[in-house]
Amino acid sequence: MPGMSATHMYPEDTMTYHLWIIPLVAVALAQLAAVATSVYLHRGLTHRSLVLHPITDVGFRAILWLTTGQNRREWVAVHRKHHTFTDREGDPHSPRLFGVWRVQLWNVYYYVREARRPETLRTFAPDIIEDWWDRAVFSWGLSGLGVGIALLCLIFGIWIGLAVALMHAVLYVFVLTPVINGLGHWRGAQNFANTAYNSRALAWVTGGESLHNNHHAHPRAPKFSMGRFEFDPSWVVIRCLAAVGLVKIAGAPVQIPRS
């Protein structure tokens, strides 16, 4: 009926609302977290292909605090070690060492195991210094997740909020992130001679990260799409931020010449 609010829906209307709002919000949050990870943690901090304005820096840290609870120094250290020992002894999460399904299903275990090693942090992330924001807010990862879940429950109600949070966690932790580290070093297309692979389809939902062969060939390139029909969603975000002065592009984009 016209003017009927969500609280006065018929039962079948309420069920339909629940069925579409939960996956829609969960997917949106997973994509937001994937792009923030790619732009800030990966291209900005790890490879220094971007210089972020302080407002952008804090903004991305807040997004990641609320959606993933990740510690930026740990993420940078683990990923730099991965590049140093790619697919050989010392790689924290290589499917060629541990098996593709073990990395796909237990990627979070391999990440946490490596991130808890003080020597990894000292060796691979000495430039990531704890600042006031870290000490006051962002080092408290579980608190960030708690605040994020509380906001979802406040906006959508307790049960929908909890369902959204659970689905988002599954998508980010057990689907999007491990498919980059697992399948990205197991099967796919290659533009360059290295042990990583590209997936043009998966790149659309991983913030461009599944163009992994390109990235390992040119780690400091801020744009991961280099060949025909490749699309890097995070590059669109970067260009928009650069257009308004919130990001400075430091690395040089690479384009494969058309034959």
Give the end-to-end CA distance of the chain in Å, rounded to a whole number: 60
Identify the band that residue 2 occupies on the pLDDT scale cut at 50, 70 and 90: very low
10-60 tens-digit pLDDT: 555 666 666 789 999 999 999 999 999 999 999 999 999 999 999 999 999
Question: Alpha carbon of 197 to those of 21, 91, 186, 187, 219: distances in Å?
Answer: 34, 16, 7, 6, 14
Closest to 183 (Cα-Cα) out of 210, 208, 214, 217: 210
Task: Tell me the angle at which helices 11-36 and 233-243 cross, rounded to the nearest 10 degrees.
Answer: 70
95-136 tens-digit pLDDT: 999 999 999 999 999 999 999 999 999 999 999 999 999 999
pLDDT score at 17? 65
Given a cut of 70, is residue 7 above it in pLDDT?
A: no
pLDDT score at 214? 98
Q: What global pTM score does this model have?
A: 0.91
31, 176 in Cβ contact below 8 A? no
pLDDT score at 182? 94
136-175 tens-digit pLDDT: 999 999 999 999 999 999 999 999 999 999 999 999 999 9
Question: Which sign, positive or negative, has the C-alpha torsion 220, 221, 222, 223?
Answer: negative
200-244 tens-digit pLDDT: 999 999 999 999 999 999 999 999 999 999 999 999 999 999 999
Burial 190-224, CB ≥16 within 10 A → b, else e: ebbebbbbbbbebbebbbbbbbbbbbbbbbebbbb
| CB atoms near residue 146 (< 10 Å) | 13
177-204 tens-digit pLDDT: 999 999 999 999 999 999 999 999 999 9
Counting Cα atoms < 13 Å in the Cβ hemisphere of 101 gives 0
Residue type, 45: L
Residue 50, H or E segment: strand 50-52
pLDDT score at 257? 80
pLDDT score at 13? 61
- Cβ partners under 8 Å of residue 106, min gap 6: none
Query: Average pLDDT of 57-80?
Result: 98
162, 83 in Cβ contact below 8 A? no
